[in-house]
Amino acid sequence: MPEEKLRVIGIDGGPRKGWNTARAVGEALEGAAEAGAETSLYRLWDMNFKGCASCFACKRRESFLRGACAFKDGLSPLLDALKGAAGIVMGSPIYLGDVTACLRAFWERYIFSNLNYDADNPSVMKKGPSSVVVYTMNVPSEAIPKMGYDALFRLHAGFLGRLNGDFVEQIAVCDTLQFEDYSMYHAPMFSEEHKRRVRDEVFPGDLAKARAAGRRLAGG
Ligand SMILES: Cc1cc2nc3c(=O)[nH]c(=O)nc-3n(C[C@H](O)[C@H](O)[C@H](O)COP(=O)(O)O)c2cc1C
């Protein structure tokens, strides 16, 4: 019998195809595939779904849905695909100091249904997927504490840790190139020359980190 491959799911929470976030998620998935995993990519922006409806079906005493979101919409195929996955790589640009609305909406549905209101037994999943989150942002890395993003990342790591995967890894991709041609936009606080230098000299290293994290998700 051929051995079943580990599955690693990529979730792109950014709207722009081919830009910073999409490239980092793609790179992590390539790393996972390199390490032998079966990979698939979901672009939340293209999916028609909402955040948690607060129906509490996942918390009902008699519910057989415990650990799974009962609400059926365009997110359901992804929630189904996540069952039994070994790893998830999620990417999001930072929008107004947090992940995008669609990644948050996904987390509300996926993470909340796994949380138990039971201090002794806080997660439904005894062993869930390991996770990698790639955050892309305009601010340089040294501004992360000042912006409070380090606290944000700790908060996210706490929720994702409740999935009981082997690890949660977070990668901050900072000072990203935001426009192809800065001369077309009013953005005097940014230097295009500096942004291009970061793109050429730092971004490849960020992609390499994402690729290595993808390999780890696949047990590599
Ligand atoms: C609506 C919006 C809000 C943003 N808010 C922030 C922010 O709070 N902090 C930050 O560092 N960058 C912010 N950015 C910049 C993006 O996070 C950054 O350009 C990111 O790399 C974009 O990812 P992408 O190239 O994959 O689209 C914002 C961009 C948009 C469009």
CATH number of the domain within which 19 lies: 3.40.50.360
Residue 9 dihedral angles phi and psi, to the nearest 5°: -110, 130
Q: How many A from CA of 6 to the centre of ligand 1?
A: 32
Judged against a pLDDT cut of 70, whether residue 2 lies above it is answered with: no
150: in domain = yes
Find the helix or strand (DSSP H, E) in which 74 lies.
Answer: none
Locate tokens 């601010």: which residue?
A: 139
Q: How many A from CA of 95 to the centre of ligand 1?
A: 5
In this prediction, residue 63 carries a pLDDT of 81
Distance of CA 2 to the CA centre of its chain: 30
Q: How many A from CA of 118 to the centre of ligand 1?
A: 37
38: in domain = yes
The answer to whether 28 touches 214, Cβ cutoff 8 Å, is yes
The greatest distance separating any two alpha carbons of the chain, rounded to the nearest whole angstrom, comes to 61
Q: 178-202, pLDDT tens digit by residue?
A: 999 999 999 999 999 999 999 999 9
In this prediction, residue 130 carries a pLDDT of 98
Q: 143-183, pLDDT tens digit by residue?
A: 999 999 999 999 999 999 999 999 999 999 999 999 999 99
In which region does residue 165 sit, left (phi positive, over 0), alpha (psi from -120 to 50) or beta (all else)? beta
Judged against a pLDDT cut of 90, whether residue 38 lies above it is answered with: yes
186: in domain = yes
Q: How many A from CA of 148 to the centre of ligand 1?
A: 15
Q: 127-146, pLDDT tens digit by residue?
A: 999 999 999 999 999 999 99
2: in domain = no
| Mean pLDDT in residue range 68-87 | 97
154: in domain = yes
Find the helix or strand (DSSP H, E) in which 90 lies.
Answer: strand 87-93
1: in domain = no
What is the pTM assigned to this prediction? 0.97
In this prediction, residue 220 carries a pLDDT of 80
137 lines ligand 1 (CB under 6 A): yes
Q: Which atom of ligand 1 is nearest to the CA of 23?
A: 26
Domain membership of residue 84 as a residue range: 7-217
Closest CA to 131 of 88, 67, 186: 88
189 lines ligand 1 (CB under 6 A): no
132: in domain = yes
Judged against a pLDDT cut of 70, whether residue 1 lies above it is answered with: no
Residue from 43, 45, 95, 177 whose mutation best tests the ligand 1 pocket (most atoms within 8 A of CB) = 95
In this prediction, residue 209 carries a pLDDT of 98
Domain count, the chain: 1
In which region does residue 143 sit, left (phi positive, over 0), alpha (psi from -120 to 50) or beta (all else)? alpha
Q: How many other C-beta atoms lie within 10 A of the C-beta of residue 177?
A: 19
Locate tokens 């790179």: which residue?
A: 27
Q: 40-68, pLDDT tens digit by residue?
A: 999 999 999 999 999 999 999 988 778 89
Distance CA 16, CA 1 (A): 41
The answer to whether 176 touches 135, Cβ cutoff 8 Å, is no
Distance CA 122, CA 106 (A): 20
198 lines ligand 1 (CB under 6 A): no
Share of the chain above pLDDT 70, in %: 99
Q: How many A from CA of 93 to the centre of ligand 1?
A: 5
92 lines ligand 1 (CB under 6 A): no
Q: Which atom of ligand 1 is nearest to the CA of 98?
A: 8
